[in-house]
A and B are shown apart, each in its own frame.
Chain A
Amino acid sequence: MNSDPSSQQPIVGRITIVREPSPIIFGALHLTMNEHFDMDELFECLVKEDTSHVRCQY
């Protein structure tokens, strides 16, 4: 059913799953998704939470 991309137009949604992205990908996601989400707030949630290990040393 989903083998033909042309059957899918138009696109009404996008699902993006990214695990442990590198910093540049955080930047890229900020660029592409800032229109729909408050990426600054998302970043804050990712960094601030005590349980998060987003802030790795690269």
Chain B
Amino acid sequence: MAARPNVEELLKKLADIQQAYSQTLLEVHEALAQLSVSSSASGLPGASSTKSAKRRRRSTRDTEEKPSADWITKVERPKGADGKSVTLGSSVITGESEDSDIEEEFYVQKPLPSYTFDHENLRQHLKTYEFKKYGKILLETVVENGRLLDPTLFKEYPADELWHNSHYSVFDVGRDGAPLSRSQVVEKGSKIDSAIWQAIQVRRDAPTDIHWERTNSINRM
């Protein structure tokens, strides 16, 4: 193989593999159709075939090559005695069940409500919220009787207190269930507390806030 195979070659290779796969799949379909042909009328390549083609294409999520959808519609699908399509073949072969049409329902689809908090919101919350007993314990070095003990919210720790520099990770999760780190909204070189705050202070349904946040945090400096 060449050191850097060009894209066209790779695509052609992919197309060849797909062609071979399609051919074999077609044969399997025909074999299965033969099996059930005695007990059922030869089906129309109608709605069910189109549907499975769509499913097949989505399941691969690969190139938008047209043949990937077309070849399967050519396959005549046998129908069961009740008129329902006999889908065992495609289910087994593609590793998908009939229910895979609701694939996206496996993941949460409802967008989270947006919020944006700034330093003033945080100050107000610390001052006005009626923290319960244990909250007061946690925050005893920050707020006392509705009064902030330190005007600086996110202070820098002295060198002998670097154990504060602990770990954090914040991700936003998209509709496909994949988490995307919010690390890019955090100003480079931020101290740990400020960095965590930058990561959590905004939540929007559209993550176009990244630019907005950057400018905003620069303005605050």
Contact = CB atoms under 8 A, between A and B. Distances in A.
Interface in B150-203: 153-154, 163-164, 166-175, 178-180, 184, 192-193, 196-197, 199-201, 203
A56 to B, nearest CB: 9
A38 to B, nearest CB: 10
B134 A5 contact: no
Contacts of A43: 131-132, 134-135, 137-138
A55 B138 contact: yes
A29 B139 CA distance: 12
B220 interface: no
Interface string B52-92: 00000000000000000000000000000000000000000
Q: Which bucket holds chain A's interface residue count?
A: 35 or more
Interface stretch (B22-30, B95-103, B205-213): B205-213
Contacts of B142: 23-24, 27
Chain B interface residue count: which class?
A: 35 or more
A31 B200 CA distance: 10
A16 interface: yes
Interface string B108-151: 11111101010001100110010111110111111100000000
Contacts of B180: 2, 5, 8
A15 B178 CA distance: 11
A6 B138 contact: no
Contacts of A26: 135, 138-139
Interface in A1-45: 1-2, 5-32, 35, 39-40, 43-44
A2 B178 contact: yes
Given A30-B129, A48-B134, A17 B169 contact: yes
A14 B108 contact: no
B117 A32 contact: yes
Interface of B: 107-113, 115, 117, 121-122, 125-126, 129, 131-135, 137-143, 153-154, 163-164, 166-175, 178-180, 184, 192-193, 196-197, 199-201, 203-208, 210
Interface of A: 1-2, 5-32, 35, 39-40, 43-44, 46-48, 54-55, 58
Instruction: Sort A-B residue pairs by CB-CB distance and give the 4 closest, nearest first.
Output: A13-B173, A8-B174, A10-B205, A10-B111
